[in-house]
Structure 1
Amino acid sequence: MQSWIHYPKNIKVAKYISCYWLIEKTTLQDINNFPKLNPDPATHLIICPQKQGFHYDTAPQVSSGSGSHWLFPQQQTLQIDHSERFIYLGVKFHIGALYSLDIPDYNHPTLNQADTVDMDHLLSVTGFPAESLLQIGRTEPLECCDKLDELFLPLLTNAKEDQHSEITHKVLQLLDSTAVSELGGKLFCSQRTLERSFNRVTGLTMKQCQSMNKLEAMLEYLYQRDASDIDWVDVAFKFGFSDQPHLIRQLKKQIGLTPKHYVEERGLTIDIYGGVTARD
């Protein structure tokens, strides 16, 4: 399994796209055939060969198909079928970015599903070079990212901001460091107005998004440590849980594993899609 994550160089592109990533499975010997993706408030556009299948399972809901596709914000842990060889080139958009973009055939906001996408239609091009990009991504990641910047710039240049997207940008800048109940006072805006605009742009509540971001930060923290080095009481305090039982309940609710089981099975719960990657 090989993977990389890089960031847009173009400032206009970086306003809407968080990062580019690639993951490729080249051998059937990999034992991690059904990894899980953590809940994610961001949207990913995933470029892959036209005949390559995808399968995301949140039981009882399943999203499947073939070729390039959207993976919209997910409120639950997803199990992916990675049992066959595959290559994915991903474009991770900032939270709520799609609200400002003129995307053909897109129903906003969309959550908890994956949908196929016509890349020619999306980017107003003829003959989107998917295979060429994937080949460059295998060997020259930075060149691949430069080409993605070039391809996405026209779509992003035409983005339109309004009062709801502006409010949401301000909320996102404070969300990881401020209690939701304090945001109205800091932004000189009513809590109801903040919540309404944020939900309109992202499809999520501020609390839901904050919880997902906190989970991502905590799992990345755990990913970098051996089980013997983890003090669960300290982890609970560090990430804002009232006590260790509260941490256990939340982790069980969000990813279906207790903290102990997560550490034991960390190879099975990853967010390689522009987030946590495997340790060296």
Structure 2
Amino acid sequence: MEQINMPTLVHLGFQRFLPCVGLQPYIQCYWHIVRAAGPESLSTEFMHPEGGSGIIFNFGAPIHLDGMQHSAHCLVTGPTRQSTKLELSGKVDALGVRFWPGSGRAFLNAPLSEMLGQNLTPADLSLVLLGDELTERLAALPTAQAKIALLETRLLHYLAARESLLEASELRMRHALNWITRQRGQGELRHLLGELDIGQRQLERLFLQDVGMTPKNYSILQRTAYAKELLRHDIDKSLTDIGYHAGFYDQAHFIREFKKVIGITPGIYRNKALHNPKR
């Protein structure tokens, strides 16, 4: 298991790990955060949307997502189209699984459109895969690596049992997601429809089922992600130029769509990134 050192969230002991080869098509990474309780232990972070879904195993104090407290030891986090406010206080000890966009449904029972913007328990989804027994076993293990090893064994076994159920639609979905990502959300979807030889409604049904949002919404997330990258690194470019390069019609459109997804304007985001580039 390879650990990836990340400069972000170092104050929370944040670590990120690559999945094993068999799970790499489905899982972007595992992450682990741990911190002892202290007198001033409140932390507020913002998780920006990229189209994926995930699982959080929480072995510490309850977490707050967008102001709502969650005491469950296991949460399934659906895809989002806006940034999520994460508040942590007291003892922090959490292990997360981050699925690639379009890949979480291989392990989750419901269409991802039903999980959009939702944080659900395994019981809400009737997920035997993520029962209390697994959470208790994970909590008893001393290291993130040991927890991930147990979790991967369970995920690989589950995947093997339903491999015959995976359809050609999964290959189409991966092609579509890779195409939109390569185009940074700026490609005309009619070209993608031609490559896949399917209609617009069929593509939208696939996206709602496997990603939880339409191809257009996913494209907006990709354009916004590219704009964030430009705002952090191309400090000499004006906001107008960055909006243009990221595929927005004009500055007003750029500001409106960026704020809708990230929660703040591009100008404020750039100022924050310049003053705290590691966060």
- Tell me the TM-score normalised to structure 2 length: 0.77
| Count of matched residue positions in the alignment of Structure 1 and Structure 2 | 258
Paired with 1:267 and 1:89, the residues of 2 have a C-alpha distance of: 29
Does structure 1 retain, via aligned residues, the 8 Å contact 2:54–2:76? yes
**Structure 1 residues 80-106: Cα deviation after superposition (integer angstroms, max 9, x where no partner):** 222333122111112222333364xx5
Paired with 2:228 and 2:151, the residues of 1 have a C-alpha distance of: 29
Task: Specify the alignment match of 2:264 in structure 1.
Answer: 257
Task: Specify the alignment match of 2:8 in structure 1.
Answer: none
Paired with 1:191 and 1:36, the residues of 2 have a C-alpha distance of: 33
Paired with 2:92 and 2:236, the residues of 1 have a C-alpha distance of: 35
TM-superposed deviation, 1:125: 8.8
**Structure 1 residues 27-58: Cα deviation after superposition (integer angstroms, max 9, x where no partner):** 64778722222234211101121x63122117
4+ runs deviating over 6 angstroms: 29-32
- What amino acid sits opposite 1:165 in the alignment? E
Match of 2:243 among 231, 236, 243: 236
Does structure 2 retain, via aligned residues, the 8 Å contact 1:100–1:165? no
Does structure 1 retain, via aligned residues, the 8 Å contact 2:76–2:122? yes
SS in structure 2 of the partner of residue 253 of structure 1:
helix
Paired with 2:46 and 2:274, the residues of 1 have a C-alpha distance of: 9
Does structure 2 retain, via aligned residues, the 8 Å contact 1:45–1:69? yes
Paired with 1:193 and 1:168, the residues of 2 have a C-alpha distance of: 11
Identity level (%): 23
Task: Specify the alignment match of 2:139 in structure 1.
Answer: 131
CA shift in 2, pair 1:32/1:266, >3 Å: farther
Paired with 1:14 and 1:111, the residues of 2 have a C-alpha distance of: 23
**Structure 1 residues 162-221: Cα deviation after superposition (integer angstroms, max 9, x where no partner):** 244333222112112132232112222222222222222222100111211332343244
Alpha-carbon RMSD across the aligned residues, in angstroms, is 3.3
Gaps of 5+ in 2: 1-10
Tell me which moved more, 206-215 or 123-132: 123-132
Does structure 1 retain, via aligned residues, the 8 Å contact 2:122–2:130? no
Task: Specify the alignment match of 2:83 in structure 1.
Answer: 77
Does structure 1 retain, via aligned residues, the 8 Å contact 2:138–2:147? no
**Structure 1 residues 140-183: Cα deviation after superposition (integer angstroms, max 9, x where no partner):** x5x65444322321112234322443332221121121322321
Paired with 1:238 and 1:29, the residues of 2 have a C-alpha distance of: 46
Task: Specify the alignment match of 1:47 in structure 2.
Answer: 57
**Structure 1 residues 101-159: Cα deviation after superposition (integer angstroms, max 9, x where no partner):** 364xx5753111112237993257945422245x312xxx5x65444322321112234
- What amino acid sits opposite 2:61 in the alignment? Q
Instruction: Give the 5 Å matches for 1:157-168.
Output: 157-159=160-162, 160-168=165-173
Higher relative contact order (CA 8 A, sep 6+): 1
Does structure 2 retain, via aligned residues, the 8 Å contact 1:55–1:63? yes
- What amino acid sits opposite 2:154 in the alignment? L
Does structure 1 retain, via aligned residues, the 8 Å contact 2:47–2:86? yes
Paired with 2:115 and 2:127, the residues of 1 have a C-alpha distance of: 21
